[in-house]
Amino acid sequence: MTTATVGSENASQCYMECQAGEFYDSTADACTKCPMGLYQDEPNKIYCKSCPAGTFTSQLGATSADDCKSCAPGETVTISYTCEQCEVGKYSTDGTACIKCPSGTTTVDVGSTELANCSVGEYIQQ
């Protein structure tokens, strides 16, 4: 058992010792792996750290900020912490979010990386 601060005087301030990549979950009274998107590089903590802006972890129990990654331009991060290409009609310059093309324009392919990829569409009669 350990405490969050030196000199704690009450047994209720004690919690289990957890490894890097874990945090002490008081509700479960157990060490729990940091969820995807977060990491913990120090042992015996009661929280996990957020990755730097625009980055995320894609596995449980990440132990370092080095585990935080970003998506490439033309991609965005999904709710399951994977990178996915922007759909037709959207683009991403920095891999953080797909932006919808201006009204009346679209992209030809998925994974567009800049506003210049948005152009007026053509209708081909067959």
Burial 70-107 (b: 16+ CB within 10 A, else e): bbebbbbbeeeeebebbeebbbbeebbebbebeeeebb
Q: Is the pLDDT of residue 13 over 80?
A: no
pLDDT digits (tens, 9 = 90+) for 75-88: 999 988 999 999 99
- How does residue 60 score in pLDDT terms, banded at 50, 70 and 90? very high
Local structure of residue 61 (DSSP, 8 states) = T
Averaged pLDDT for residues 71-77:
95
Model confidence at 71: pLDDT above 70: yes
Residue 63's pLDDT band, with cuts at 50, 70 and 90, is very high
Residues 6+ apart with CB under 8 A from 46: 4, 15, 23, 24, 26
Select the more confidently predicted residue: 7 or 59: 59
- Record the pTM: 0.70
Distant-in-sequence, close-in-space partners of 126: CB < 8 Å, separation ≥ 6: none
Task: Please state the rounded mean pLDDT for residues 86-109.
Answer: 95
- Torsion angle defined by CA atoms of residues 84, 82, 78 and 105, in that order, rounded to the nearest 10 degrees: -10
21 vs 6 pLDDT, higher one: 21
